[in-house]
């Protein structure tokens, strides 16, 4: 059996992704929000022998300014040394590199890396009472204040 020193060190240090277990599962939403009326689902699951959490997400819009469109995205959350990071890709061609922090219990904050080109992005996910509350914010070039672009609430599926 071949064992890599980096894998051994991670195993000895504990699971750096463990604080994000509250996100695991499939979450569905039917909502009206800033972009229109939509149906969607988000799944967070461990992959690669629990070295990453993979988030897949879609939203299909039936009414509003995005009627007839579908958004798909993929995020991979991973440990890099003592830091947690994520990389995001979507069906519109965006790629965002995030630093990941946990400001309070059952809340995770994804904020675009300082070196990323503007605009800057921030996504917050909080879980309480079987619901996932989400907020996506954007700070345009030269503006340090984030403005809410989209909010949602999804229910955990059994």
Domain range enclosing 92:
5-156
- Report the candidate in 41, 81, 68, 38 with the shortest Cα–Cα distance to residue 57: 41
Domain count, the chain: 1
pLDDT at res. 60: 94
Q: What band does 4 get if pLDDT is binned at 50, 70 and 90?
A: very low
pLDDT at res. 35: 73
Task: Annotate 61-102 with DSSP letters as a single string.
Answer: EEESTTTT-EEEEEEEEEEETTEEEEEEEETTS-EEEEEEEE
Q: pLDDT, tens digit, for every residue of 86-143?
A: 999 999 999 999 999 999 999 999 999 877 777 999 999 999 999 999 999 999 887 8
Give this prediction's pTM: 0.86
Domain CATH for 15: 2.40.128.20
The answer to whether the beta carbons of residues 77 and 23 sit under 8 Å apart is no
Q: pLDDT, tens digit, for every residue of 141-157?
A: 878 899 998 889 999 99
């Amino acid at each position: 059996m071949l064992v890599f020193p980096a894998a051994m060190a991670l195993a000895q240090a504990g699971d750096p992704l463990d604080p994000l277990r509250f996100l695991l599962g499939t979450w569905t939403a039917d909502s009206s929000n800033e972009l229109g009326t939509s149906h969607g689902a988000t799944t967070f699951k461990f992959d690669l022998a629990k070295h990453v959490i993979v988030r897949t997400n879609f939203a299909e819009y039936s009414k509003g300014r995005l009627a007839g469109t579908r958004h798909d995205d993929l995020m991979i959350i991973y440990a890099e040394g003592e830091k947690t990071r994520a990389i995001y890709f979507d069906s519109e061609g965006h790629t965002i590199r995030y630093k990941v922090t946990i400001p309070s219990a059952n809340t995770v904050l994804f904020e675009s890396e300082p070196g990323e080109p503007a605009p800057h992005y921030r996504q917050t996910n909080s879980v309480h009472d079987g619901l996932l509350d989400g907020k996506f914010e954007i700070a345009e070039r030269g503006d340090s204040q984030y403005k809410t672009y989209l909010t949602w609430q999804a229910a955990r599926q059994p």
